[in-house]
């Protein structure tokens, strides 16, 4: 290949210690040493309960926690720190919007639009809202390559649509969805849009002001941060009008026998003891990602994806889901092998020290729509190498023979 690859594995302790081709970054990313060190240093140097202690250590913990919030604000280009809510993950962020915004603003006769490609975490909350409010849940059905043509969007997103929730990048097909067009159409009629950026934030710039998104959710662990830290961005006007999702801890200003006065944003939505170590490590992950450069991340991942795609196409019996253009997969290659169950594919690859996902990928309606019960998925990141892809292709090429098929 002509692309000038950079080897980032040296920055990732697990990848240096384990002889493995890790191709499951869409499930969770590996962590660079700088992120692991940032979390370690928080607990070694500033471990106290943020927002509570007036002593020096407590103030230091609070300062580091709030500095992490500011780092996320800059990363998303939000207007204010008040618009950045720390959660556990994308799932919790979406549920916060469903319970706190949607149940109070969506009514019988309204429509909620999602795509058939959504992760279950961006589907089940809206099914719940539709059941409880009497609203209608409408599915945008993609083309077989994952694309959503403008004419299909315009036919579905009409004046009754008061909320749309759309994944920025499909976790199965890897396609980048036209969130800008969806936002434009929904806003015409006064609706709001939530963007699930779990699969996009680690790979491309997500500028909430440029998108004009009302809500954006993503998980730290897919962006090389620890598990258990997530983010919800929301426009300040919307968040101010929403009731708390959970109650207790530092989300209050005062409490009496008869009620409570809630804290100002963003703390109104951060009940209980916060994950300060995770937030600090998320800030370090953003620092590392931006030190590599999102343009470099994108270029290397595209080159690796193209290399893997072209190699897979040469293997008899391998079928790749989604677009025929490898540049439209965003590092995600879901596939089947004729006559072989995806779990067997993953097991055989694992025996060759290649890690891929197998199953329905929390997207059962999409797979049913595509006529596939389950599939395997290789998901790449910039820290992968051509050697990882070569190992994957060699193992994949032997799957049918391993299962007893004569080639």
CA distance 116 to 323: 16
Average pLDDT estimate for 267-277: 97
Average pLDDT over residues 77-90: 98
Span 304-324, mean pLDDT? 98
Work out the number of other CB atoms within 10 angstroms of the CB of residue 94.
Answer: 27
The per-residue pLDDT for range 328-353, each reduced to its tens digit, is 999 999 999 999 999 999 999 999 99
Round to whole Å and give the CA distance between 374 and 335. 9
CB-CB contact of 209 with 203 (8 Å): no
Q: What is the mean pLDDT of residues 266-293?
A: 97
Give the residue-averaged pLDDT of 70-98. Answer: 98
pLDDT at position 250 is 87
Average model confidence (pLDDT) across the chain: 97
Under 8 Å between Cβ of 140 and 115: yes
Is 9-30+293-402's fold the same as 35-290's?
A: no
Query: Per-residue confidence at 53, pLDDT binned at 50, 70, 90?
Result: confident
pLDDT higher than threshold 80 for residue 2: no
**pLDDT surpassing 80 at residue 150:** yes
Question: Three-state SS string across 293-318, please?
Answer: CHHHHHHHHHHHHHHHHHHHHCCCCE
pLDDT (mean) for 257-285: 97
Higher local confidence (pLDDT), 16 or 3: 16
pLDDT band at residue 107, thresholds of 50, 70 and 90?
very high
Q: Which residues of 322-345 are buried (b: 16+ CB within 10 A; e: fewer)?
A: bbeebebbbbbbbbbbeebebebb
Where do the structural domains in the chain lie, given as residue ranges? 9-30+293-402, 35-290
Query: Is the pLDDT assigned to residue 121 strictly greater than 70?
Result: yes
**Average pLDDT of the segment spanning 379-399:** 98
Residue 362 annotated to the active site: yes
Determine the average pLDDT of the residues in 15-20: 96
- For tokens 């998108």, name the residue: 211
**What mean pLDDT comes out for the span 162-169?**
98
Looking from the CA of 355 toward its CB, the CA atoms found within 13 Å total: 17
Q: Residue 255's Cα: distance from chain center in Å?
A: 36
406 band by pLDDT with thresholds 50, 70 and 90: confident
- In this prediction, residue 52 carries a pLDDT of 82
What is d(CA 331, CA 356) in angstroms, rounded to the nearest whole number?
13
Residue 1 has pLDDT above 90, yes or no: no
**b/e for 305-314, b at 16 or more Cβ within 10 A?**
bbbbbebbee
Reply yes or no on whether the pLDDT at 407 is more than 70: no
Determine the CATH number of domain 35-290.
Answer: 3.40.640.10
Q: What is the dihedral of CA 378, 384, 386, 392, to 10 degrees?
A: -30
Indicate the burial class of 155 (C-beta count within 10 angstroms; 0-12, 13-18, 19 or more): exposed
Share of the chain above pLDDT 70, in %: 99
Mean pLDDT of 140-167: 97
pLDDT value of position 316: 96
> How does pLDDT run across 195-233, given as a tens digit for each residue?
999 999 999 999 999 999 999 999 999 999 999 999 999
**Spatial CA neighbour of 157 closest among 179, 172, 134:** 179
> Quick check: helix, strand or coil at residue 27?
coil
Q: Which of 142, 175, 352, 362 is catalytic?
A: 362
In CATH terms, 9-30+293-402 corresponds, of 3.30.450.90, 2.60.40.10, 3.30.565.60, 3.90.1150.10, to: 3.90.1150.10
């Amino acid at each position: 290949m002509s692309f000038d690859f950079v080897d980032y594995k040296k920055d990732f302790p697990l990848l240096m210690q384990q002889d493995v081709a890790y191709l499951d970054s869409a499930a969770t990313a590996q962590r660079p040493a700088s992120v692991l060190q940032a979390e370690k240093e928080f607990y070694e140097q500033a471990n106290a309960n943020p927002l509570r202690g007036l002593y020096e250590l407590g103030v230091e913990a609070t300062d580091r926690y709030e500095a992490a919030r500011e780092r996320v604000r800059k990363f998303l280009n939000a207007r204010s720190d008040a618009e950045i809510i720390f959660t556990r993950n994308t799932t919790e962020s979406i549920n916060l919007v469903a319970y706190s915004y949607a149940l109070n603003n969506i009514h019988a006769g309204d429509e909620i639009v999602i795509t058939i490609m959504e992760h279950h975490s961006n589907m089940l909350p809206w099914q719940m809202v539709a059941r409880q409010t009497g609203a209608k849940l409408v599915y945008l059905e993609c083309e077989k390559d994952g694309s959503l043509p403008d004419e299909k969007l315009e036919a579905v997103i009409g004046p009754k649509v008061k909320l749309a929730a759309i994944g920025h990048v499909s976790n199965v097909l890897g396609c980048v969805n036209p969130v800008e067009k969806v936002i434009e159409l929904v806003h015409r009629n006064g609706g709001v849009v939530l963007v699930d950026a779990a699969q996009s934030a680690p790979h491309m710039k997500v500028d909430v002001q440029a998108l004009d998104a009302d809500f954006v959710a993503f998980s730290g662990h897919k962006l090389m941060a620890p598990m258990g830290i997530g983010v919800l961005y929301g426009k300040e006007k919307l968040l101010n009008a929403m009731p708390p999702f959970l109650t207790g801890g530092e989300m209050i200003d005062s409490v009496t026998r008869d009620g409570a006065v809630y804290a100002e944003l963003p703390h109104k939505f951060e009940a209980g003891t916060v994950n300060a170590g995770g937030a600090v490590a998320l800030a370090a992950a953003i620092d590392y990602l931006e030190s590599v450069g999102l343009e470099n991340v994108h270029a290397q991942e595209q080159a690796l994806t193209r290399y893997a795609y072209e190699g897979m196409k040469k293997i008899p019996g391998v079928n790749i889901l989604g677009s025929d253009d490898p540049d439209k997969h965003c590092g995600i290659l879901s596939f089947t092998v004729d006559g072989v169950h995806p779990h067997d594919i993953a097991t055989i690859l694992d025996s060759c020290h290649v890690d891929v996902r197998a199953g329905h990928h929390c997207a059962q309606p999409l797979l049913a729509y595509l006529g596939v019960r389950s599939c395997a998925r290789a998901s790449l990141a910039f820290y992968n190498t051509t050697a990882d892809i070569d190992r994957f292709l060699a193992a994949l090429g032997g799957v049918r023979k391993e299962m007893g098929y004569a080639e």
